Chains A and B, each alone.
Chain A
Amino acid sequence: MTEIVNLSNIYKSFGAVQALIDFNLSINEGEIVGLMGDNGAGKSTLLKILAGNFLPTSGNINFNGEDVVFNNPKDARKAGVEVVYQDLALCDHLTAAKNIYLSREAKRFGFLLDHKKMNETSQKLLDELNSSARPGDVVTGMSGGQRQAIAIARTRLSEPKIVLMDEPTAAVSVAQVPVILDYIRSLKKQNHSVLLISHRLPDIMEVCDRIAVMRLGEKVCDKNKSDCNPEEITGLITGAIKSA
């Protein structure tokens, strides 16, 4: 199986705070890796390094067989990283379609926005996610689930190598959780990899192939799901179990 991401010895500090310490992780093509950990364990920092928001203080990122440096989100996106951020990074004043297409707007005649195409494609993507959000509506006032759908729809505009998702099921209705989990499985079917950050152990156990647990910036566990049991994972997250 081809390796898509290989992080080796990633170290990241913010002043005196060590957010990531000698972090190693590899993710294969079409693999869903669940990343768990308590608040402040360094999960979001790791995601932001992979997404090009932060540069690691030291360490190496190998992406799709090449050593890379993601200086900004654009670099990461170009390489094939799509992200669903925890806060979703939506612009409330823009329509759903303009949010989905933000910074890669469809054009005609080389410089004019192709509103029709953006609305049509957005409608299709939102339908696939079973969302009631309408492409022409502004995001202000939309429900948590509709917002989540827009942020997820963004990842469908390209053919990503990997999709990073930060708590995609935290703010949605109970009925919508299975839709999002189905979506994650469909990514796997199309051979895209997924790094799923979540606090919800049932979600992780349901879709992931492998589970990694972080505690205080270090990886304390990295196992196939079949070798994990929920009690052990919970113990690792809280620190009751030191490592596994």
Chain B
Amino acid sequence: MTLAPSSVPVATLRDTLLPALNQIILGKELTLKLAATCLLANGHLLLEDLPGMGKTTLSHALAKVFGLSYRRIQFTSDLLPADILGASVYHPEQQHFRFHPGPIFSQVVLADELNRATPKAQSALLEAMEEYQVSIEGESWPLPQPFFVIATQNPQHHAGTYPLPESQLDRFLMRLSLGYPDPAAERRLLRGDSGREALHSLQPVLSAEQLQLLQQDVQHASVSEGLLDYVQRLVNYTRQHEQIELGLSPRAAQALLRAARSWSLLSGRDYVLPDDVQAVFVAVAGHRLHGTGDQPGAHLARLCLQQVQVVA
């Protein structure tokens, strides 16, 4: 195995990063690995869950483990773009305007309850996510690198929410939901084996520079013709399936492959297997698929996995 430039062996990732996360959030190994995959693939993450499932804890833990600076923005219906991006404020003693950067100038930004804000405020954040810079009054302010947004949203049917349009959902590489813990994990949680206290004692496993190197490695994981065939079959199937109104776009296909590469790296390989594609498919495709009926996208994604031949 030749992992060229990174100074961090992949084994470190597997053996220290994931166990560290698992100590904070109990019994959610797969979801945590997917969240780490998303970060490694340089993609933003959307968490959809009920309140109290550990969304904030997860994002905080991710920032800490990767050694990144962390800010949280609580989205409310009266939030203005300036509250996110920052604003130029007049300083009478110096007689000029000075830019005060908003909370978005951070490496990990938790956008809590994104869908409670008005579309105007939402799009301020989403534009920054795409451009990696903030433009105010004709001046551009680059965002720190790496830049990673974790947005959480309440399930759509809750009152007082503004659902994100498809084009903005597409900016998130993955959508995950933690869900209720299993009984054993919940028992440990009640005993107090983990939680916010453990967060404070959490030590970074990587530095920001190492993370950036790893993100470059992801691009180098090798992909065979047979695997590309499988990815194309999957994507085509979503476009032809009669129950799916909107299939996966080419950008979504790229995102799928990027996520699969990242997952293979976290699994300690430098080549991608169909298993990697299957592991990330529901998270990557779930929020991008729209059924003709009221089936949830994740259900449709699972249906596609069951129908498409891996080798053909």
Q: Do A and B come from one complex?
A: no
- Interface residues of chain B, those whose CB is within 8 Å of chain A, are none
